[in-house]
Amino acid sequence: MKNKNKILNTALLGLSLVSLSTALVAAEQDPIKVGVMLPFSGVYGGLGEATRNGLKMALQEHAADLQGRTIEFIEMDTEAKPSRAPEIANSLLNKSHADFIIGPVHSGVAMGMIKVLKGKDTIMIIPNAGVNAATGPLCAPNIFRTSFSAWQPSYPMGKVALEKGFKKVVTLSWNYGFGQESLDAFEESFTSGGGEIVKKMLVPFPKTEFQSYLSEIGSIQPDAVFVFFAGGGAVKFVKDYDAMGLKGKIPLLGAGFLTEGTLEAQGDSAEGILTTLHYADPLKNEENQTFRRDYADKFGKPSDLYAVQGYDTGLMIASAVKALNGDISDQKALIHALENTKVKSPRGDFTFSKAHNPIQNIYLRRVENGENQVVKLAASALEDPARGCSM
Amino acid sequence: MENNVILETEGLCKYWGGLKALDDLSLAFHDNQLHGIVGPNGAGKSTLLNMLCGHYKPTSGKILHRGESISSIKPYEFARRGIGRSFQKTNIYSNSTCLENCSVAVQRLMGGSFNFFRSRYSQKMLDEIATQALEKVGLGQRRDHIASQISYGEQRQLEIAMVLATSPEVLLLDEPMAGMGHEESQLIIDLLSRLKKEYCIVLVEHDMDAIFELSDQLTVMVDGQHLVTGSVDEVRDDPRVKEAYLGQGDEVY
Amino acid sequence: MLLNKRAERLFVWIFFPLALLMPMFLEQNEYYVNKLTTIMILSIFVMSLDYLVGKCGLITLGHAMFYGLGGYIFVMIAPEYEAVNFWIYTFYICAISATVAFVIGFLVLRTNGIYMIMITLAFAQMTFYYFSDSIDFGGTDGVFVYVKPETSIFGLSLFDLDNPTHFYYLCLLSLFNTLLFFKVLIRSRFGRLVDAIHANPGRTVALGYNIFIYRLVSYVVASALGAYAGYLFTLQYGFVNPSMLSWTTSGTALVMSILGGMGSIYGAILGTLVYEGLHYSLEHLTEHWLLFMGGLIILMVMVFKKGIAGFLEDLLEKRDGK
Amino acid sequence: MDSTLFIVQLINGLQYGLLLFLIASGLTLVFGVMGILNLAHGSMFMVGAYLAWYFVQQTGSFAFSAVISAVIALLIGFIVERTLIRQLYRRNHLDQVLLTIGMIFVFNALQGLLWGNDPLGVDVPQALSASIPLAGIIEYPVYRIFVAVFCVVVAGVMYYVISKTRLGMLIRAGESNREMVECLGIDISRLYTIVFAIGVMLSAVAGVVAAPISSIVPGMGEHILITCFVVVVIGGMGSIKGAFIGALMVGLVDTFASVLVPELSSMMIYIFMAFILLLKPQGLFSS
């Protein structure tokens, strides 16, 4: 049933794109080529699909802003394999001569892409991968990010933890770049306010056998636990945390990914978890309400964070094309236009920092009835410190 | 003239779990003699041969080569000491030419096995020695034939040629005539009677006519145990042998 | 003769001249030059595996370990912001990975068959996790190589590694040399032993050879070449990542090798070309390319046992027969 | 580590080890009897978990889902053996490796097609959803204990079947001597079909019982597969007893390594395996 819907939707999407392009066939200029480098298979497949949907939706909605130019999508499956990333990026750059290259989800893939695309004649926009370095030491004029740096969602949680009166906290994450950067960001704000990290645990990626770590947390009995997990690992961790009897006894805090796209699978176990993120599904602003309604209508399933990030990427492209009256041949002008975009995003308006990372609000959310309800604004217009970026 | 003892066993035993495949065997094998070994199935003949060439390690007891214990050395070192063997089932490089089969054997003595660059086909001397080995067993004309395409009897001959090509002093032959027709067997018998003048040969064989014809010394084994050793006539007349064979009833001579 | 099969001669005479001219047609499109370069690097890797599996009969599911090591050793020993000499580092990398292969081979080659498959896999996983968990080498995100080596010999610099076409020719040269090396090796007296041990290990022991040593030498040589391929791959885009070491890399290389024709050495190039070509076209045709790729692999194992090289050889022989 | 925590970790290790045994037993059984190395074994674990999820969605009953998933797995095993594996008996391990790699690709692609790529979860069945207090604030989920007991029962049943029944006799005979079984007038190919299907079912059942305590994600099979390899290699390929001991060892080593030497924890089981193989190149209980 679900599948039928999916196929139907894909077909509908295809149809609407066709009609879109025929409507504009009169335009004389070449289409704007948008290379899409996302995982469409494997663990991150769902994220890739949502991002692509959001991206296409934005560009369709703002077709009028494109000054008569059409969009040609070139989609490549990264399989979330970093070792293939340079080759695919290279193909979009040199074979397809893409004007924009959108991707990826996975930080390792991002590193491989940046290596190839940095300083080249294309614009790379990262719609998810949070590796700090992308807008840190590796920042470049032609690299933008519409999502977040690993630092951003976790940093405000340190302050929240202190406000709640937690003094001793255990931190836990998968042992990879993004996880560590998240823990570091939390630690930075938490310890500077007088908190203490009693233990930092790193779980080998992608291991999901958490029993021994949970047992240790149970024996340490800290005031709270801060974790970074995403996807399948997040589902497993939250359920195990509950099953080991820790839920309700030791508050669980996390970077928002802990409860993004996973709530249904986590069920009741997720209730009460506090997370910080630059978005929350139930945000009350008008853009978000419209976006969620339209997305659900269009694709037959609810939108999520990744769809929003893809959507914002589309908005950003559309607004830059509009600002330049459709002529994006001058890279300097294009970069200038992109830098000065103010994105009217479902997450709330945001602008770009010098390092091309969003300056955005971070919300404190709490899981209630299977939804991430916004508790308050944890940080407003938070800018990544962009350490190591010399732009 | 008394020939030198080349290979000896002292109280050799081999147990497989609780099963005694070979029990307390002490034998001596002499230079320039053919030592036949017979016995009913399961008597431990093949086990003995496999131990003499180092394929199996003895459970207890010793193997002596020229008075030196070699029970604990590695299998390939047996061959390096000049103890060569042929197998019960044909065991050759069947996709290579007969010459190549022997060349592998010759190369061990000629050296150069760690030479990455020099072509294996570029040395005349190696070819000559290998060809000689083939000629010795009467396979001179088969030199460039693929081993799998020559007749079964010839393959058995080739196997002996390979052993000869290693320049051994002991030949351990495991039923070289098994599965052969009468004429082919006769070829091998002729060959062995020539070879035994130069080598110490240990022959395990079911063909009684052949073994009586060839053996200088003959050992009869039953159930992993030594029954009798002596000249062909001594063995033939020994009542224990008759009893053993009649008792078993499956070997008639 | 060095190339003793007709199909082999035909292939070499067509492939290398064509590959030599290829960049002229593709000059305007850097992508294809880069793609072909990657294929040639992979071919070197697959060739070294083909030698091990097809020629020596040592089935390993951990060859990617050396592919990855080639890259990581470079990252470990080369200074970060200084151009080193390519040839000297080629030597270092081959020597270090050969040493590693010597130690590991010592353990691995005590076993055989299924156990060897498993143990090589285990060692590869060990290294994979080591680099995945290591913060110094970027963990799962991998590391960049910021400065590419220079290639001067006695002051004469032939290749500029930042230029894709130059790099292409370097890889083509490496591929040709690897093919030549293996062909000479197989024809040599050492090669005679390799053939003998593969065809009949028991017999070879009975002839007085210590087959362990020969296998070990083969393992060390193939591993060093695998590492060299990994080193080239790292230099191509200046990027190392643990996924180079993953068991799927080993598995895919095995598939390429058998597709090309196990043990034929030159088949490694064919197998890599065809596999990558199929992957490329299926990926562009359908989102479910994995399904077709899997189906093709199954089909290949069932009915196409001898691989492309075997198929070509049969074809040419049949024609000769007529 | 104090003694209570030590005991908790011991339980964790044993429980994990028992689950590993359940997955590895099918792998080692198929290898022992048929000489087939099935790399797609992990995929069947994944299929089991997805089937469990699907049927729990449809029917709401975990027990029913478990049974029907097991039956489907048995069918899959039957079909795969009859169409593909059958061709491989006289081939070498390399062909088996390649064929089963191809099968992994296909299963992964089908999973993407049928169920998508989002992480899924199955709720712990109501009757087993409680937790019992263990030490301090730590509680131990009843379901995990159930899984452990279930695995022990499966081990017991396997022991009984193999050592006491006619099928077991044939399996043992098939392990040591294929010709002998044929001489007894037994249709060996039927025996092989049965054994392969059972192997597949064991893996899928492991996926089913693990579903409520794992996240159901693409690629879950490959990760577990490699761990199972370690188990059967340590235990000795083809030995069920070895798989049992090996699984418990791996479970314990992995659990304690993650507490005592966290930096090396992901490598530890491989180091342990290399160490065992240094002492016994064929594993602990090889036949």
Distance CA A108, CA A85 (A): 9
A26 and A60 part of one domain: yes
* Closest residue of chain B to C201, computed from CA coordinates: B93
HSE of D124, CA atoms in CB hemisphere, 13 A? 22
The per-residue pLDDT for C300 is: 87
Question: β-strand B217-222 against B225-230: which pairing, if any?
Answer: antiparallel
Inter-chain touch C287–A108, beta carbons under 8 Å: no
Inter-chain touch D262–A216, beta carbons under 8 Å: no
The per-residue pLDDT for C14 is: 92
B55 and B179 part of one domain: yes
Range of the domain at C122: 6-242
Q: Which residue out of C33, C135, C140 would a mutagenesis test of the A interface target, given it has the greatest number of A Cβ atoms within 10 Å?
A: C140
A310: tokens are 């893809």
A93 and A219 part of one domain: no
User: Is residue B203 in a domain?
Assistant: yes
Terminal alpha carbon distance of chain C: 24
DSSP string, C202-232: HHHHHTT--HHHHHHHHHHHHHHHHHHHHHH
Which of B166, B197, B228 is the C-terminal boundary of a domain? Answer: B166
Distance CA A233, CA A250 (A): 19
What's the whole-number mean pLDDT along residues A144-171?
Answer: 95
User: Is residue D287 in a domain?
Assistant: no
Q: To the nearest 10°, report the CA torsion of C163, C167, C169, C175.
A: -170
User: Is residue B87 in a domain?
Assistant: no
The per-residue pLDDT for D179 is: 67
Instruction: Evaluate if residue A3 carries a pLDDT over 50.
Output: no
B155 and B56 part of one domain: no
User: Is residue C212 in a domain?
Assistant: yes
Residues D98-115 pLDDT 10s: 899 999 999 999 998 898
- % chain A with pLDDT above 70: 93
Residues C183-199 pLDDT 10s: 999 999 999 999 999 99
Inter-chain touch A107–C290, beta carbons under 8 Å: no
Report A:95-134 residues touching D (Cβ under 8 A). Answer: none
Contacts of A29 (CB under 8 A, 6+ apart): A68, A69, A326
User: Is residue C260 in a domain?
Assistant: no
The per-residue pLDDT for C132 is: 87
B4 and B34 part of one domain: yes
Under the banding of pLDDT at 50, 70 and 90, the label for residue C220 is very high
User: Is residue B88 in a domain?
Assistant: no
Nearest-Å Rg of the Cα atoms of chain C is 20
CA angle B103, B104, B106 (to 5 degrees): 60
B61 and B99 part of one domain: no
What's the whole-number mean pLDDT along residues C107-121?
Answer: 85
| Tally of domains in chain C | 1
B77 and B173 part of one domain: yes
Reading chain B (253 residues) residue by residue, the pLDDT tens digits are 456 888 999 999 988 777 788 888 899 999 999 999 988 877 888 889 989 988 888 888 999 998 889 988 888 899 889 999 888 888 899 999 999 999 999 998 888 788 888 888 877 888 899 999 999 888 889 989 999 999 888 898 899 999 999 989 999 998 888 888 888 888 889 989 999 888 999 999 888 888 888 999 999 988 888 888 988 888 888 888 877 765 554 444 4
DSSP 8-state secondary structure symbol assigned to residue A270: G
Which residues does chain C have within 8 Å of residue B85's beta carbon, measured at their own beta carbons? 206
Range of the domain at A121: 2-148+283-356
C122 Cβ under 8 Å from any chain D Cβ: yes
B64 and B178 part of one domain: yes
CATH at B68: 3.40.50.300
Alpha-carbon distances of B20 from A186, B47, B50, B59, rounded to whole Å:
72, 11, 15, 10
| Tally of domains in chain A | 2
DSSP 8-state secondary structure symbol assigned to residue B150: S
User: Is residue D57 in a domain?
Assistant: yes
B183 and B248 part of one domain: yes
User: Is residue A391 in a domain?
Assistant: no
A96 and A16 part of one domain: yes
B121 and B105 part of one domain: yes
Of B76, B84, B93, the CB nearest to C196: B93
DSSP string, B217-234: EEEEEETTEEEEEE-HHH
A42 and A134 part of one domain: yes
> Which residue would you say has higher pLDDT here, C56 or B3?
C56
The per-residue pLDDT for B178 is: 82
The per-residue pLDDT for A20 is: 47
Inter-chain touch B79–C205, beta carbons under 8 Å: yes
Q: How many CB atoms lie within 10 A of CB B74?
A: 12
Average pLDDT, chain D: 88
Which residues does chain C have within 8 Å of residue B93's beta carbon, measured at their own beta carbons? 195-196, 199-200, 203
Which of B128, B147, B166 is the C-terminal boundary of a domain? Answer: B166
Q: Which residue out of C2, C203, C215 would a mutagenesis test of the B interface target, given it has the greatest number of B Cβ atoms within 10 Å?
A: C203
Instruction: Evaluate if residue A15 carries a pLDDT over 70.
Output: no
Q: To the nearest 10°, report the CA torsion of B192, B198, B199, B205.
A: 10
Q: Which residue out of C2, C177, C181, C188 would a mutagenesis test of the B interface target, given it has the greatest number of B Cβ atoms within 10 Å?
A: C188
The per-residue pLDDT for C210 is: 93
User: Is residue A389 in a domain?
Assistant: no
Range of the domain at D206: 3-279
Distance CA C101, CA C65 (A): 10
User: Is residue C170 in a domain?
Assistant: yes
User: Is residue A309 in a domain?
Assistant: yes
Distance CA D279, CA D235 (A): 13
A251 and A289 part of one domain: no
The nearest CA of chain A is from the CA of D95 a distance in Å of 25
User: Is residue B224 in a domain?
Assistant: yes
B119 and B218 part of one domain: no
A230 and A104 part of one domain: no
Which residue spans within C72-216 are E strands per DSSP? Answer: 143-144, 152-153, 156-157
Residues C175-186 pLDDT 10s: 999 999 999 999
Instruction: Evaluate if residue D261 carries a pLDDT over 90.
Output: no
What's the whole-number mean pLDDT along residues C248-271?
Answer: 92
A14 and A137 part of one domain: yes
- Nearest of B61, C114, B5 to residue D233 by alpha carbon: C114
Under the banding of pLDDT at 50, 70 and 90, the label for residue D77 is very high
- Answer whether 0.80 is exceeded by the pTM: yes
Tell me which chains share at least 3 CB pairs under 8 Å with chain C: A, B, D
Residues B158-211 pLDDT 10s: 999 999 999 899 999 988 888 888 888 888 899 899 998 889 999 998 888 888
HSE of C48, CA atoms in CB hemisphere, 13 A? 30
Contacts of A324 (CB under 8 A, 6+ apart): A330, A333, A334, A337
User: Is residue D286 in a domain?
Assistant: no
Instruction: Evaluate if residue A154 carries a pLDDT over 50.
Output: yes
DSSP 8-state secondary structure symbol assigned to residue B3: P
B147 and B132 part of one domain: yes
CATH at D42: 1.10.3470
User: Is residue B195 in a domain?
Assistant: yes
What's the whole-number mean pLDDT along residues C226-251?
Answer: 93
Residues C266-277 pLDDT 10s: 999 999 999 999
Alpha helices in chain C, H assignment, sequence order: 6-26, 30-50, 64-77, 86-108, 113-133, 164-187, 189-199, 201-206, 211-237, 247-260, 267-285, 289-303, 307-321
D131 Cβ under 8 Å from any chain A Cβ: yes
A15 and A142 part of one domain: yes
The per-residue pLDDT for A9 is: 47
Under the banding of pLDDT at 50, 70 and 90, the label for residue A27 is very low
Which of B166, B186, B209 is the C-terminal boundary of a domain? Answer: B166
The per-residue pLDDT for D118 is: 79
D110 Cβ under 8 Å from any chain A Cβ: no
| Tally of domains in chain D | 1
Range of the domain at B117: 93-166
User: Is residue B55 in a domain?
Assistant: yes
A313 and A367 part of one domain: no
| Tally of domains in chain B | 2
C56: tokens are 């020596």
Average pLDDT, chain B: 86
Residues D40-69 pLDDT 10s: 999 999 999 999 999 999 998 999 999 999
Average pLDDT, chain A: 88
- 3-state class (DSSP) for residue A195: coil
Instruction: Evaluate if residue C2 carries a pLDDT over 80.
Output: no
Name the residue type at position A60. Q
C80 Cβ under 8 Å from any chain A Cβ: no
Task: Give Cα D136 to chain centroid, integer Å.
Answer: 33
The per-residue pLDDT for A13 is: 46
DSSP 8-state secondary structure symbol assigned to residue C288: T
C300 Cβ under 8 Å from any chain D Cβ: yes
- % chain D with pLDDT above 70: 95
What's the whole-number mean pLDDT along residues A30-48?
Answer: 87
B74 and B172 part of one domain: yes
User: Is residue C150 in a domain?
Assistant: yes
Distance CA A36, CA A58 (A): 14
Residues A120-148 pLDDT 10s: 999 999 999 888 888 988 899 999 999 99
What's the whole-number mean pLDDT along residues D127-141?
Answer: 83
Q: Which residue out of A13, A33, A73, A83 would a mutagenesis test of the C interface target, given it has the greatest number of C Cβ atoms within 10 Å?
A: A83
Under the banding of pLDDT at 50, 70 and 90, the label for residue D287 is low
